[in-house]
């Protein structure tokens, strides 16, 4: 996989980006079944392709709100990085669309929901269960870091479970491609409890901030707080 794909800037209204035979899917071919979640920039719907009955998660972003909050770069980074990623522990982006008011990302549906919801119900995980989810995060980080991608938003809310219970990282709004393994970026972002000291001190952040977050993630899974 070449990093040129990650730096791709999309000029067309829609683009086929998956190896599966989804190239003929149009936005009009998708029927909304339900709402999976609502966030600050839009919503995620469960949709069905009317011809094949395949189900997907459709992330819908309001262009005006994204622009108002100056999040264009984050949205573009998320789309381009997910378009390039092919890893069993990262949620798959199949295709993207846009119209005059909204941006759409057609994504793999993970019916198991968030690890956070399971943690909330259980209170905390035993060591073996926590190890399983931490290992999945580490596998995803190994893949991302080998391509100089910093994730910057690990937390139970951003790990989804597919139909087989395989954990997958989602929500790449804070992800960024660095110029090299030792490259740094200075954007202050992430969830407060998870940010590394170098982010708070504005010393420049590199791939190591994801490993700091992995330690916090491990603690939260085991302790429930």
CA-based nearest residue to 7, from 181, 148, 154, 156: 148
Has residue 32 got a pLDDT over 80?
Answer: yes
Options 3.40.50.2300, 1.10.1660.10, 1.10.3720.10, 3.30.200.20; which CATH number does 21-107 get? Answer: 3.30.200.20
Q: Which CATH class is domain 113-223?
A: mainly alpha
Has residue 9 got a pLDDT over 60?
Answer: no
**Beta carbons within 10 angstroms of residue 93's beta carbon:** 24
Catalytic residue among 29, 88, 99, 153: 153
Is residue 155 a known part of a binding site?
Answer: no
- At 61, the pLDDT band (50, 70, 90 cuts) reads very high
User: What count of residues does the chain have?
Assistant: 225
Half-sphere CA count of 201, side-chain side, radius 13 A: 7
Identify the three-state secondary structure at position 42. strand
Q: Write out the two tokens for 127.
A: 């060591």
Average pLDDT (38-64) is 91
Known catalytic membership, residue 153 = yes
pLDDT tens, residue by residue, 135-184: 999 999 999 999 999 999 999 999 999 999 999 999 999 999 999 988 99
* 0.85 exceeded by pTM: yes
In this predicted structure, what is the pLDDT of residue 130?
Answer: 98
In this predicted structure, what is the pLDDT of residue 38?
Answer: 87
- Residue extents of the structural domains in the chain: 21-107, 113-223
């Amino acid at each position: 996989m070449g990093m040129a794909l990650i730096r791709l800037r999309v000029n067309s209204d829609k683009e086929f980006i998956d190896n599966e035979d989804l190239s003929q899917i149009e936005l009009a071919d998708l029927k909304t079944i339900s709402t999976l979640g609502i966030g600050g920039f839009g919503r995620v719907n469960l949709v069905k392709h009317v011809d094949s009955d395949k189900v997907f998660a459709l992330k819908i972003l309001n262009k005006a709100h994204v622009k108002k909050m100056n999040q264009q770069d984050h949205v573009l980074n998320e789309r381009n990085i997910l378009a390039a990623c092919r890893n069993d522990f990262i949620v798959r982006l199949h295709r993207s669309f846009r119209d005059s008011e909204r941006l759409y990302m057609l994504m793999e549906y993970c019916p198991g929901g968030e690890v956070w919801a399971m943690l909330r119900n259980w209170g905390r995980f035993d060591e073996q269960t926590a190890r399983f989810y931490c290992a999945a995060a580490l596998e995803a980080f190994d893949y991302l870091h080998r391509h100089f991608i910093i994730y910057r938003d690990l937390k139970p809310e951003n790990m989804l479970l597919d139909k087989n219970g395989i954990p997958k990282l989602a929500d790449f709004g804070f992800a960024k491609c660095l110029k090299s393994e030792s490259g740094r970026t200075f954007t202050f972002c992430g969830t407060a409890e998870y940010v590394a000291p170098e982010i708070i001190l504005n010393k420049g952040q590199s791939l190591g901030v994801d490993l700091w977050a992995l330690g916090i993630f491990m603690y939260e899974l085991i302790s429930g707080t």
